[in-house]
Amino acid sequence: MSCFVPISGGGTDHHAAVALETEKLKRRVIWCERAGDDRWRQISFLYRVADRFGSRIFDHSFCRGEIQPTIGCSTGSCCRCRPDVFAYEQQVLELLPKRVDASGYCPFFNLVRKNCGIYGLRPFACRIYFNLGPTAHYCRNPNDTTLQLFDNLKPHLERILGAYWGGFGD
């Protein structure tokens, strides 16, 4: 099961800053698509704008109260899924070592440290995924803002990252 699975009743209040940053991210992804034919530069740009979105939205997310500077998130429960990937990302992740077990966590999640074991290579979807709801429930159940953002970006991302694949390994 991928991370971006809609859950009924997931809608929550929106902070104005989240809406602003969401619009900026959409615009930047579209700019990226128009920025030239060099696919690798486009991919690099995409991941940078996703990380910039994350750094700006973090203070407005539930994650802010859960993530400690040195030890990260105490649960990492949002990684209890298969990360959403596009064709290019699926190919890259297939080359990496992965855990095989029945934990339900992403095969790249470090179960001991409770963080992402491939942080620098994590997919676009993981980079923009934050709990934008009021409680820990929304760590694993994305609210409407998160779902709409990903759905809106998908067609633009597909032109650069290839077809949307779903959850890695699904």
Q: Which residues bind ligand SF4 (CB under 6 A)?
A: 62-63, 66-67, 73, 75-79, 83, 106, 108-109, 116, 118, 122, 126, 130-131, 139
Nearest approach in angstroms of CB 108 to ligand SF4 is 4
Nearer to ligand SF4 by Cβ, of 131 and 145: the residue is 131
φ and ψ at residue 25, rounded to 5 degrees: -60, -45
Nearest approach in angstroms of CB 35 to ligand SF4 is 26
Nearer to ligand SF4 by Cβ, of 26 and 98: the residue is 98
Nearest approach in angstroms of CB 27 to ligand SF4 is 24
Nearer to ligand SF4 by Cβ, of 28 and 122: the residue is 122
Q: Which residue has the tokens 């809609």?
A: 6
Torsion sign, CA atoms 14, 17, 22, 27: positive
Nearest approach in angstroms of CB 83 to ligand SF4 is 4
Q: Burial letters for 49-77: b for 16+ Cβ neighbours within 10 Å, e otherwise? A: bbeebbeebeebbbbeebbeeeebbeebb
CA distance 74 to 114: 7
